[in-house]
Amino acid sequence: MNFRNILSEIEKTDPEVYERLSTRRNALSSFGSKVAVAALPLALGAMFKKAYGKTTDAVVDALNVALEFEYLEYTYYRQGNNTTSLISSTDAAGFKVIENQEKQHVNFLNATITAMGAVPFTPKNFTDPTTVAPYVPAAYDFTAAGAYHPFADYKTFLLLAQVFEDAGIHAIAGQMPAISVNNELLIQAFQLQAAEARHCSFIRHIRRIAPINAPEEPAPWINNNIPPTVAFQPAYTGEDLVEQEGVVILSLPNNFSTDGKIPQISATAAFDEPFAKDKALAIIKPFKK
């Protein structure tokens, strides 16, 4: 990562970074002129620790879980967008937006982790970051050893995209307790999760309507524990939970229904369940080399 780009990458997601640093953009130039190049990473790490609070191993680990998902998703969408005649012309613009946003997420997480003096996750077969990152197709086998062919069949491409997005949302939710010790990073994590949820909603809408007409008729959000195929049931196990923080949602009043009760499908759709790191990464493991 070029350290001159760190502030600009973080600023894309956190426009108030300069207020937190109590400095202006031109202060970085002055800062850099007074610090030896070899010492710049440590100096920037100290600066951002002051801005974002104490960095713990748990926080860095949580951010790296998110980064691992972002690398996979960006590579998947870029490869899909660059595959001739795969994506419907109606959907192409939307997937290009998703690709660009996934790249921004990778760059933001890389910049943030680096600025904190920690080591960002890098995929297998990662090479020179100035030439290929964050596109690392050599790190993944999106066929899962021949089980799927997402770049030859649009329905399969959409199915895997939904699973990756759903798993990513679960993964980020599972990292929130670690990130919550740092209020500023917590805000950024929720914003990143919200962007991923929009991506998933877009994909689920496409799968629901003609000509895809996915048999499970996906809503724009996860409801119950319904997977797109039985093979991906582990990615949705636990999503039929109707109790949150000790409150049984089904027991709450509902003034908009004839029986005064909240439907089970609505209760399960109201929350995305957090997945522990190991459970989340197990979902994408078959697609990694």
Q: Count of CB atoms within 10 A of residue 169's CB?
A: 25
Q: Which two tokens stand for residue 189?
A: 């994590």
Q: Where are the domains of the chain?
A: 3-238+273-287
pTM, rounded to two decimals: 0.79
Closest among 57, 51, 97 to 78, alpha carbons compared: 97
State mean pLDDT over 84-111: 95
CA–CA separation, 156 and 154 (whole Å): 5
CA atoms within 13 A on the CB side of 61: 11
State mean pLDDT over 18-30: 43
What percent of the chain has a predicted confidence (pLDDT) above 70?
A: 79
176-231 pLDDT, tens per residue? Answer: 999 888 787 888 888 899 999 999 999 999 999 999 999 999 998 888 888 999 99
Q: Which two tokens stand for residue 206?
A: 């496409």
State mean pLDDT over 117-145: 86
State the pLDDT at residue 106: 94
Burial of 176 (0-12, 13-18, 19+ CB in 10 A): middle
CA 244 to chain CA centroid, Å, is: 23
State mean pLDDT over 246-268: 85
Does residue 280 have a pLDDT over 50? yes
Of the two residues 130 and 233, the one the predictor is more confident about is: 233
Lowest mean pLDDT among 95-104, 155-164, 251-260: 251-260
What percent of the chain has a predicted confidence (pLDDT) above 90?
A: 49
Closest among 188, 177, 183, 140 to 160, alpha carbons compared: 140
Confidence band, pLDDT 50/70/90 cuts, at residue 243: confident
